[in-house]
Chains A and B, each alone.
Chain A
Amino acid sequence: MSVVKVQPTRMELIKLRRRIKMAKRGHSLLKMKRDGLIMEFRELLEEAKKVIGGMAEKYEKAMQKLALAMAVDGVVAVKSIAMARQCEPKFVMHKKNIMGVVVPVIKREEKIVRCVVEREYGVLGTTARIDEAVEAFEQLVDAILEVAEIETTIRRLIEEIEKTKRRVNALEYRVIPSMEEACKFIAFKLEEMDRENIIRLKKLKSKKAKQEA
C-alpha cells in the first residue's frame, strides 16, 4: 500500500486503525491455524509412513504368493481363477474436515478381504496356494485404498499449510507494516494540520490585536 494514496483524514485514520486491529487478529488466528495444520501433518506423516511401509510389504508378500501359486498350480490355473473376479472393488468417497481442509474418507462398499467361500471360485477345484495368493492381493487392494486416502489428505494439508504460510507472511511483513505506516503518516499529517491551524489562529489573533491597537 502506498502511503501517498491515503487520504489524511480522521475518518481514514479510524478506518485504518480498525483494519490493523482486524489484520492482527487475523494474523494470530492464521498463525494458530498454520501451527495446528503442521501438528496435524506431522501426526499424519507418521501414520502415512506406517501405512505406505505396510503397503510395500503387502505388495512384496502378494507377489511372492502369486509367484508360488503360478509355480505350483501353473499359469493356466492362475489365469482361470483370475477370470473369476467379475467386478472391481467398489468404494464411496466421503468428506472430512480438518481445520477447514476438506479431505477424502474412502469407505468400502463391500468387504475387500473376503472369506474363501465368498469368493467367485470353487473350493474343490483349487488349492490353498490360490487362496493365499488371492488373500494377499485382497489385503494389498485394501492397503492401496488406505494409502490413497492418507496420501490425498497429506497433499491437501501441505497445500493448505503453504497457503496459510503465505497469508501469515503477507500479513506480518507487508499488509500490517504498510497499514501501520499509513496510519503513522495520517497521524503525522493530522498533527501537522492541527499545528498549522493553531499557528494560523495565533497569527489571526495577533493581526486582530494589532488592528485594535
Chain B
Amino acid sequence: MLLKSKRSSWAYIVARVKVMKRRLIPSEEYRKLLNMDFNEIVRYLEETDYKREIDELAYKYSGPRLLDYALTLNLGRTYRKIMDVSFGIAKDIITTYLKRWDIWNIVTIIRGKMAGVSEEEIEEALVPVGEYTLDFYKSLIPKEIDEIVKTFEGTPYYSVLSKVGSEPLSIIEDELYKIYYHQILKERPSEFALKLFVDFIKMEIDIKNIKTILRLKREDVSAEEIMRRIIPGGFEITEEEASKLIAMSWDELVKALEGYWFSKGLEGITDKSISRIEIKFDKAWMEVVARRASNYPLSILPVLQYMVLKKIEVDNLRTLGWGKWQGIPNEEIEEQLVIL
C-alpha cells in the first residue's frame, strides 16, 4: 500500500508540524510543574491546548481521572489533526504508524469481553486513534468474541485473532504487535521517505526488543520464551543478535549492550529496576530521532518526532498529575519523566 502512494510535498506537513511542535511544553517548564500541586497543574494546563478537553470532560470526571482522560483525548485529536493535514505518502505513513492503536483497541475489547467487564468500562479504555474510528470500535463492544474476530476477516490480524480461545491472550497480543511491525518491514522502500520511516520503526523495534530481553531476563524466563517475544527485523537487535544477548548472563548482557546505538541509556543498569531503565532507553531513542530529524528536515522524521514527543508530553503530564495526586515524592516523579 505504501509503495503505491504518490510523492508528497514534505514542506507543507513539516511546516504544520513545526507550528504544533512549538506549542509543546518546554522541558524547563517541567521543573516549575514539579513544584506545583495538582490543582495548580490543572490550572496551568487550562491555559494551554488541553483546555478544550479538560472543559469537555469536566462534567463527567474529576481529579486525576479528568486529567488522564483529557490528555488521552487530546493526544487522539492531535494525531487525527496530523492525519487531516497530511496527504500522499505522508498520510499513508502516519496511518500505518498509528495502526498500533488498533491493536491496543482490539485487544482491550477482547480482554474486556473475556473478563465479562461492562460495556462502559471497555469503552473507557479505548483510545480514539488508529485506522478504524472510535464508533467502529464502539459497535464491536456489544458483539460476541467470534463475531468481533470475524469482523477482521481479510485483514492481516485475522490469522492471529482466529486463535482467540485456543491460545492465551498474551501470546495473541504479542503476535498482533509482531504482525504490525512485519507489515511495515515487509515493504521494500524504494522511496527515501519510506526508508527513513522503516529505519525509524527498526530502531523502535530495537528498543522494544532490548526492553523485552531485560524485562524477561530479570524474571529468569527461558531463552525459548524470550525469543518467542522478539520482534524480527530490528535495526541492530536482529533475531540473531537477540539470541546471542539472551544466552548471556545479566552482567555480560549489560556489558555487551554498550556497543549499540542506544547505549546512552545504559548507565546505571545495576539495580535491575527495569522501569527506570526503560525511561533511559526512551530518552536515548528520542535523542537519536531528534538528531536524525534535524539531518532530514524535509522528511517524515520531523512528523514522527513530533508524534512521539507529543506522546511523551502527555505521559509526562499524566505522571505529574497522578504523581502529585497520589503524593509520590518529587524525586520519584522526576525519575519517571522523560525530559529531553
Bound CA–CA A10/B309 (angstroms): 104
Contact between A123 and B319, CB atoms less than 8 A apart? no
Candidates A68, A125, A129; contact of B173 at CB < 8 Å: A125
Interface residues of B in 292-328 (CB under 8 A from A): 315, 318-319, 321-323, 326, 328
Contact between A123 and B212, CB atoms less than 8 A apart? yes
Contact between A72 and B315, CB atoms less than 8 A apart? yes
Contact between B115 and A67, CB atoms less than 8 A apart? no
Contact between A83 and B117, CB atoms less than 8 A apart? yes
| CB neighbours of A128 from chain B (8 A) | 211, 215, 274-275, 277-278
| CB neighbours of A85 from chain B (8 A) | 115
CB distance from B324 to the nearest CB of A (A): 9
Bound CA–CA A67/B332 (angstroms): 12
Interface residues of B in 105-130 (CB under 8 A from A): 107-108, 111-112, 114-115, 117, 121-122, 124-127
- Say yes or no: A122-B170 contact (C-beta < 8 A), given A72-B315, A115-B219, A129-B275: yes
Contact between B108 and A116, CB atoms less than 8 A apart? no
Contact between A115 and B117, CB atoms less than 8 A apart? no
Q: Is B93 an interface residue (CB 8 A)?
A: no
| CB neighbours of A131 from chain B (8 A) | 215, 219, 274
For A131, the closest partner residue in chain B by CB is B215
Q: Is A162 an interface residue (CB 8 A)?
A: no
| CB neighbours of B168 from chain A (8 A) | 120
- Say yes or no: A83-B115 contact (C-beta < 8 A), given A71-B333, A72-B319, A117-B225: yes
Contact between B170 and A80, CB atoms less than 8 A apart? no
Bound CA–CA A1/B104 (angstroms): 80
Bound CA–CA A135/B98 (angstroms): 30
CB distance from A87 to the nearest CB of B (A): 9
Total interface residues on B, using CB and 8 Å?
56
Bound CA–CA A67/B336 (angstroms): 12
Bound CA–CA A122/B173 (angstroms): 5
- Say yes or no: A123-B322 contact (C-beta < 8 A), given A80-B107, A84-B111: no
- Say yes or no: A117-B170 contact (C-beta < 8 A), given A71-B319, A123-B216: yes
Q: Is A86 an interface residue (CB 8 A)?
A: yes
Interface of A is mostly: helix
CB distance from A117 to the nearest CB of B (A): 5
| CB neighbours of A64 from chain B (8 A) | 328
Bound CA–CA A209/B148 (angstroms): 124
CB distance from A118 to the nearest CB of B (A): 8
Contact between A122 and B318, CB atoms less than 8 A apart? no
Q: Is A74 an interface residue (CB 8 A)?
A: yes
Contact between B169 and A121, CB atoms less than 8 A apart? yes
Contact between B170 and A67, CB atoms less than 8 A apart? no
| CB neighbours of A122 from chain B (8 A) | 107, 169-174, 177, 229
Contact between A75 and B107, CB atoms less than 8 A apart? no
Q: Is B58 an interface residue (CB 8 A)?
A: no
User: Which among A73, A83, A129 has the greatest number of chain B C-beta atoms within 10 A?
Assistant: A83
Bits for A102-127, please: 1 = Cβ < 8 Å to B, else 0.
Answer: 00000000000001110111111101
Q: Is B103 an interface residue (CB 8 A)?
A: yes
Contact between A67 and B326, CB atoms less than 8 A apart? yes
Q: Is A76 an interface residue (CB 8 A)?
A: yes
| CB neighbours of B215 from chain A (8 A) | 116, 123, 128, 131
Q: Is B65 an interface residue (CB 8 A)?
A: yes
- Say yes or no: A80-B125 contact (C-beta < 8 A), given A70-B322, A72-B319, A128-B275: yes
Bits for A48-74, please: 1 = Cβ < 8 Å to B, else 0.
Answer: 000000000000000010011011111
Interface residues of B in 137-189 (CB under 8 A from A): 168-174, 177-178
A-B contacts, 18 of them at CB < 8 A, read A70-B68, A75-B65, A76-B68, A76-B125, A76-B126, A80-B107, A80-B112, A85-B115, A86-B115, A115-B220, A117-B219, A117-B225, A122-B229, A124-B177, A124-B212, A128-B275, A128-B278, A129-B275
Q: Which residues of chain A have a CB within 8 Å of any CB of chain B?
A: 64, 67-68, 70-76, 79-80, 83-86, 115-117, 119-125, 127-129, 131-132
Q: Which residues of chain B have a CB within 8 Å of any CB of chain A?
A: 64-65, 68-69, 71-72, 103-104, 107-108, 111-112, 114-115, 117, 121-122, 124-127, 168-174, 177-178, 208, 211-212, 215-216, 219-221, 225, 229, 231, 274-275, 277-278, 315, 318-319, 321-323, 326, 328, 332-333, 336
10 cross-chain pairs, A with B, having the tightest CB-CB distances, nearest first: A122-B173, A71-B322, A128-B274, A67-B326, A124-B177, A83-B111, A122-B174, A128-B275, A80-B108, A129-B275
